[in-house]
Amino acid sequence: MFFAFVLYFIRSAEKGKKPFVRRIAGIDAIEEAIGRATEMGRSVLYIPGILDIDDIQTVAGLVILESVARLTAKYQTPITVPVTYPIPFTIAEEMVKGGYLHAGRPEQYDPNSVRFVSPEQFAYVAAVTGIMLRDRPAAHIFMGSFYAESLLLAETGFATGAIQVAGTANVHQLPFFVVACDYTLIGEELYAASAYLSGEPKLVGSLKGADLMKIAIVTTVVVGCLLESLGIHALTLWMTTQ
Amino acid sequence: MKRELPLAITAAIGVFMILSFFVPHQAVSVPADFLQASAIIVVAFGYVLGGANVLRVNFDGIYKRQPDWPYKILLLAGLIVTFAIGAIDGVEQHGGFLDQGTRSKWIYDNLYSPMSATMFSLLAFFIASAAFRAFRIRTVEAGLLALAALLVMLGRVPVGDLATHWLPAPARLGAIQDWIMNVPQNAAKRAILIGAALGVMATGLRVILGIERSYLSGEE
Amino acid sequence: MPGLEVLEKLDRRWLFLIMGLLVLEPLMFPLALPLTVTRPVQGFVDAIDKVPDGSTVLMSCDYDPSGIPEMVPMTRTAFRHLLGKNCKVVITVLWPGGPGLVDSVLSEVAREFPDKKYGVDWVNLGYKSGNEAVMVVMGQGIANAFPRDYRGLDSRSLPVMREVRDYASFPLLVNISSGYPGTKEWVQQVQARFHLPMVAGVTAVSAPEYYPYLQSGQIRGLLGGMAGAAEYEKARGEKGSATRGMDAQSLGHLFVAFCILLGNLIRRRPAEARS
């Protein structure tokens, strides 16, 4: 059902029907943060989460990185991307390189801007907080999957006075980012970000499909609650997985 | 072709792996297992690239005498020494380089473990500073949030029950935090989880269908 | 108020110092605050109690040294609980930094049971890279995913592994995890797919994430952080490191609550007074 919805809206987008997407303040704040870093003559620090490429949040984080790199290239602001795992590292290099290429400034790409640090969670934290305190980037962008390191990174970032934008679908880390960052993308906003940033109708169409599926789920939940309240268990039993 | 071939491979493998989740037949599960095992090997090779980058970035920093270059020497020394000791121990112990009494085990017990635990424990201090600095009660909603936070925080530790043991059982902090965790917290969490899960599926589908292709590098 | 002005400009290192002292004090002079066993923890205990004596249980310890204070007490008590029921235990680790630590903890507990032999009553299959991929491969055969154990022995040759084929060989999965890969992945890849009943021990900060699984019955019981571990120790009549740590955690929580209130008190003052 979900695939059908998504494919339908992608198809209708191809035919020229561009769906509406609401403003996402957190994503707009990314450009503001990069602009501020440019004004201050300092760099931007981008963290695509701490997981490997098999986590879809890392994919989302890396896709957003391309747009961020395009902006940093446009504003001629250095970007630093410390990465935890080797596969996201190679993709991050491609993303940053691609961003500079699309911005028409391939010669400005610094091969040392994307750095492999360590898959070890707290070794990574030590390295990134070190970068925050020594290099003093003016903007910190956290997009991807985060765990216990979220508050350690965001609080250290706050102490340096940087503008911070975060986005994660790891619900238990959201409170830490909300408290310590200026803007936070919550849950699915992270996945919607790449479509929002590119503005490409086909990508936006897939968001519409997900929205329709959500309506279907909400309807099922309401109907299920009503049926259960009336003592009819057929739907619940049909949904049970074990 | 440079873009079409990777997109075709991505689509084929993606659809096949989705299929393997629903079809337990050997014709699907055996190749799917092979692909999973292959992925593990590819990832292992990826570490060579990662290691090379660490060496390049840090040697470069030392050569150019960047402001923090002495730290880079320490980092490279740590990397090379740990790797060398692991390799030597691995040969001597026939792969069991973390067996009791090895030098690698000593590094693990006396350097790695305490450093890791120390970094994690910093969280307690950072939570206190974040609570003091940023947990602002500006609106009624923020007030409710703060109230819920206080109730859960105190209800989850013995001191909460000790302070309210004279109240009837359902009014004790432990029972109140249990209700908050099970009802409002769970409901909100489920809503975010459902949204995030749909986002995961939509992103996955975009990658499989080749609509999301920016990860394939910027070169056309 | 001059006092509040000082507090407004308070260096956060003072907060760190107070927090440090509050945690240290009860560790040196225990307060012995009373503990209550909550429903998720009781569910964990009951699920293990219901496992038939002598059966083989899968236990995955997915953490590394950063999780020692929360994860190790859970591992100790659960492993002791299972060995006490004469269950055979097959242990896996999906975190690269974990096998050495997990092996030390298990060996220490196993020494309390002189009749239990490594390879016969329990085996540590060690670490395997691949996260969810390993979980899926284990579904086709545990020994396929772990041909050798942590000590380098051929796992198929070990007596404890003779009856073990795939997930169907286990009545229960005990997962102690402090992040990714961990409980969420075991639920998604194994519980949902192979219908293996499971219980979980997780960090306090991530515990709320697993309540939906607990409520749906996909997880039979849940230990949340040090508090969960301490309640588990209480339910088993033990007094381990989690029970001792709970006093420190109580004071820590009190201090954080105090910080929230104090921070708001300071910032509620009129802007003119603050400027």
Say if residue C134 is in the same domain as residue C229: yes
Let me know if residue C244 belongs to a domain: no
Report the chain A residue with the minimal C-alpha distance to residue B149: A175
Interface of B with A in 137-166 (CB under 8 A): none
Please check whether residue A58 is in contact with residue A83, taking contact to mean a CB–CB distance below 8 angstroms: no
Q: How far apart are CA A181 and CA A158, in angstroms?
A: 7
The answer to whether residue A13 sits within a structural domain is no
For chain B, counts of helices (H) and of strands (E): 9, 0
Is the pLDDT at C33 greater than 90, yes or no?
A: no
Domain count, chain A: 2
Q: Do C168 and C261 fall within a single domain?
A: no
Domain that holds residue C25: 2-30+249-274
Same domain, A134 and A155: yes
pLDDT band at A200; cut points 50, 70, 90 = confident
Are residue A136 and residue A218 in the same domain, yes or no?
no
Confidence (pLDDT) at A175: 86
Question: Angle between the C12-28 and C241-267 helix axes, to the nearest 10 degrees?
Answer: 150
In this prediction, residue C6 has a pLDDT band, given cuts at 50, 70 and 90, of: confident
Chain B CB within 8 Å of residue A160 CB: no
The first and second tokens of residue B75, run together, are 């980092």
Both A192 and A213 in one domain: the answer is: no
Residue contact A169–B206, C-beta within 8 A: no
Position B72 confidence tier, pLDDT thresholds 50, 70, 90: very high
Q: Are A159 and A224 found together in one domain?
A: no
- Does residue A53 form part of some domain? yes
If we measure between CA atoms, which residue out of C92, C112, C89 comes closest to residue C102? C92
A229 plus A182 within the same structural domain: no
pLDDT band at C115 (very low <50, low <70, confident <90, very high): very high
Q: Does A3 reach chain B within 8 Å, measured CB to CB?
A: yes
- Please tell me which of the candidates A56, A134, A192 has its beta carbon nearest to residue B68: A134
B192 and A187: CB-CB below 8 Å?
yes
Residue C221 and residue C85 share a domain: yes
Q: A49 and A144, same structural domain?
A: yes
Whether C263 is in a domain gets the answer yes
Q: What is the pLDDT of residue A242?
A: 53
Identify whether the C-beta of residue C205 lies closer than 8 Å to the C-beta of residue C181.
no
CB contact under 8 A, B32 and C33: no
Q: Is residue B50's pLDDT more than 50?
A: yes
How far apart CA C249 and CA B124 sit, in angstroms, is: 10
| Edge-to-edge strand list for the sheet holding C122-127 | C122-127, C88-93, C56-62, C173-177, C198-202, C222-224
The reply to whether A188 and A219 lie within a common domain is no
pLDDT, average across residues C254-259: 92
**Structural domains in chain C (count):** 2
Same domain membership, residue C149 and residue C71: yes
Q: Confirm if B219 and A101 have CB atoms less than 8 A apart.
A: yes
- C79 and C25 together in one domain: no
pLDDT of residue B1: 67
- Chain C residue closest to A148 (CA)? C205
Q: How confident is the model over B164-183, as a mean pLDDT?
A: 89
Regarding whether C149 and C48 lie in a shared domain, the answer is yes
The continuous run of DSSP H or E covering C187 comes out as none
Q: Do C7 and C142 share a domain, yes or no?
A: no
Report the pLDDT averaged over residues B7-33: 84
The yes-or-no verdict on residue B189 having pLDDT over 60 is yes
Please check whether residues C88 and C179 belong to one and the same domain. Answer: yes
**pLDDT score for A203:** 80
Is residue A126 domain-shared with residue A233, that is, in the same domain?
A: no
Range name among A46-50, B42-46, C103-107 with the lowest pLDDT average = B42-46
Q: Which chain B residues touch C23 with a CB distance below 8 Å?
A: 124
Partners of residue C176 on adjacent β-strands: C61, C201
Residue B220: what pLDDT?
46
- On whether both A225 and A157 belong to a single domain, the answer is no
| Cα A120 from Cα B87, distance rounded (Å) | 19
Round to whole Å and give the CA distance between A220 and A213: 11
* Domain CATH for C65: 3.40.50.10160
C41: buried, middle or exposed (CB in 10 Å: 19+, 13-18, 0-12)? buried
Q: Which residues of C touch B36 (CB under 8 A)?
A: 130, 133, 136-137
Q: Does A179 touch chain B (CB under 8 A)?
A: yes
Query: Please, which chains are in contact with A (at least 3 CB pairs closer than 8 A)?
Result: B, C
Cβ atoms A209, A38 nearer than 8 A: no
The answer as to whether A7 is a domain residue is no
CB contact under 8 A, C64 and A121: yes
Q: Greater confidence, A168 or B28?
A: A168
| C22 and C102 assigned to the same domain | no
Give the nearest chain B residue to A134 (CA atoms). Answer: B68
Q: Is B99 touching C (CB cutoff 8 A)?
A: yes
Kindly state whether residues C62 and C195 are assigned to the same domain. Answer: yes
Q: Give the whole-angstrom CA distance, residue B11 versus residue B13.
A: 6
What mean pLDDT is predicted for residues B188-195?
A: 86
- Of B29, B136, B189, Cβ closest to residue C211: B189
Domain containing residue A27: CATH number: 3.40.50
- Structural domain that includes position A95: 22-198
Interface membership of B200 toward A (CB under 8 Å): yes
Which pTM value belongs to this model?
A: 0.85
- A136 and A33 part of one domain: yes
Shared domain check, C46 and C26:
no
Q: How far is CA A44 from the centre of its chain?
A: 16
Q: Is the pLDDT of residue A73 over 90?
A: yes
Confidence of residue C199 (pLDDT cuts 50, 70, 90): very high
Alpha helices in chain C (DSSP H): 2-8, 12-28, 39-50, 68-84, 99-110, 132-140, 142-145, 183-186, 192-194, 211-216, 225-235, 241-267, 271-274
Q: Is residue A16 part of a domain?
A: no
Percentage, residues of chain B above pLDDT 90:
17
pLDDT for the residue A208: 84
pLDDT digit string, tens, across residues C59-100: 999 999 888 989 999 999 999 999 999 999 999 999 988 888
Same structural domain, A28 and A121: yes
**For residues B97-119, average pLDDT:** 86
Segment A190-206 shows an average pLDDT of 81
Cα–Cα distance for residue pair B119/A131, rounded to 1 Å: 16
Are C154 and C261 part of one and the same domain? no
Res C2: pLDDT: 62
**Which ipTM did the prediction report?**
0.81
Average pLDDT, stretch A211-223? 91
A215 and A170 within one domain: no
> Which subunits count as partners of chain C given 3+ CB pairs below 8 Å?
A, B
